Amino acid sequence: MGADAREQLRILASGAAAIIPEDEFSRRLERSVSTGVPLRVKLGIDPSSPDIHLGHAVPLRKLRRFQDLGHTAVLIIGDFTGQVGDPSGQSAMRRALGADEVAANAVTYVDQAKRILLPERLEVRHNSEWLATMGVDGLLRLAAQATVAQMLERDDFAKRYADGRPISIVEFLYPLLQAQDSVDIRADVELGGTDQTFNLLVGRDLQGRSGQEPQIAFTLPLLEGLDGVQKMSKSLGNYVGIADAPEDMFGKLMRVPDHLIGKYLRLTTALDPDEIAALETSASSGGPAAATAKRRLAGEVTALYHGAEAAEAAERHFDRLFKEHAQPDDIAEASIPADAVVDGRVLIPKLLVGVGLAKSTSQARDLLAQGGVRLGDQAVRELEMPLDAVAGRVLQVGKRGFRRLVG
């Protein structure tokens, strides 16, 4: 098993929000080391979107830590529970997903998760294997394991009930369905964010009622996004995707607020806890020391997902753009879309969308109004320009988006 139980506890506890109960977890580690039988460590993910960002990757990184120490990762794809919708942390009823949408998202989730996890110590299971065949009688037996009063102990349910906002019976069932996953795969440990504490403890309770040794509830902090305030979210635009290009990933991470450098190091890198503590102490003084620690963070995370060589190239790219204020050498060429040209004039919002520098014409107009668009060394605010003033020039959006326009 490699490291002894005390060393494993030190490594695994780094960055954890809570381990419930910690003394029992320590005993489980000791037993695992002495017998050579690995722990079964569960992480359930409902494929509610097709992409994984660093916030999603926090429990996946911890799961990888368990694998590195010789334990077995059990990744539960919630293809059944994803159609129910996890109410954790929700202030309103969550939209249930269709089976086709869940299936499509699940494929990308597994592919991206394998960028982090070791395939040789990984079990991938779909909870439809046992939940879809449970039947009404099985569901009724499961529902009998909890009371409405117990469910209303959850903060999010209690607040919604007090405010008169609806809570569906299906939402009450969700923690029990997640708990049944733990029973069926015989989990020793279940990982989740702090918003999952209630669900993880329901799993612990249901395992005990089923005659199993109850799982350890191992929770991790929720990761704030690049704004330093809100939880990382694609909808808020404050995220770093694990499939982002190396240059984008490195550049985004250099925007992490100084006060979050230590947290990002703990939750998103594979650095030793002692080294993280030293970097966090150094960063607390701000200024150049914080910038150095942030650069280490950006390099480590980029290397995790793209390799050391790509991380070094991304750092050089960052320096050229932000320190030397130079354009990159490898600017992609893009043809001016035909539908962006009318009577010899280029409609700039359509151009930005057509070459992939804006997601919509409304976003493109906002970028123009904010002065975030340049042609060569000049800012562009006009909605249209003559074709000969655009063709052959470098179009830039923000500090990292470049296209060399071919007329």
- Taking the chain (407 residues) in runs of 10, the rounded mean pLDDT of each run is 84 92 96 96 82 89 94 92 62 58 76 89 92 88 84 79 82 90 97 92 94 96 89 79 90 90 92 90 86 94 94 90 65 87 90 91 86 80 86 83 82
Q: Which residues contact 145 (CB under 8 A, 6 or more apart)?
A: 176, 205, 206, 209
| pTM for the whole structure | 0.70
Q: Do residues 14 and 273 make contact, with C-beta atoms less than 8 angstroms apart?
A: yes
pLDDT at 35: 95
pLDDT in tens, 6-37: 999 999 998 899 999 999 999 999 999 999 99
- How many DSSP H helices and E strands does the chain contain? 17, 14
pLDDT at 263: 93
Residue 128 counted as domain residue: yes
Spell out the alpha helix ranges (H) of 230-373.
Answer: 246-253, 261-268, 273-283, 287-306, 308-322, 348-354, 361-369
pLDDT at 377: 67
Residue 230 counted as domain residue: no
Residue 236 counted as domain residue: no
Token code pair at residue 201: 């403890």
Residue 72 is part of which domain span? Answer: 5-220
- Percent of residues, the chain, with pLDDT higher than 90: 43
- Kindly report each contact of residues 150-159 with a partner whose C-beta sits within 8 Å and lies 24 or more positions away, as own/partner: 151/175, 153/198, 154/198, 156/87, 156/88, 156/89, 156/90, 156/91, 157/87, 159/91
Total number of domains constituting the chain: 3
Kindly state whether residues 36 and 172 are assigned to the same domain. yes
Residue 214 counted as domain residue: yes
Kindly state whether residues 209 and 307 are assigned to the same domain. no
pLDDT at 325: 56
Residue 327 counted as domain residue: no
pLDDT at 212: 96
Kindly state whether residues 253 and 274 are assigned to the same domain. yes
Q: Looking at residue 37, which CATH number applies to its domain? A: 3.40.50.620
Reduced to 3 states (helix: H, G, I; strand: E, B; else coil), residue 397 is strand
Q: Looking at residue 365, which CATH number applies to its domain? A: 3.10.290.10
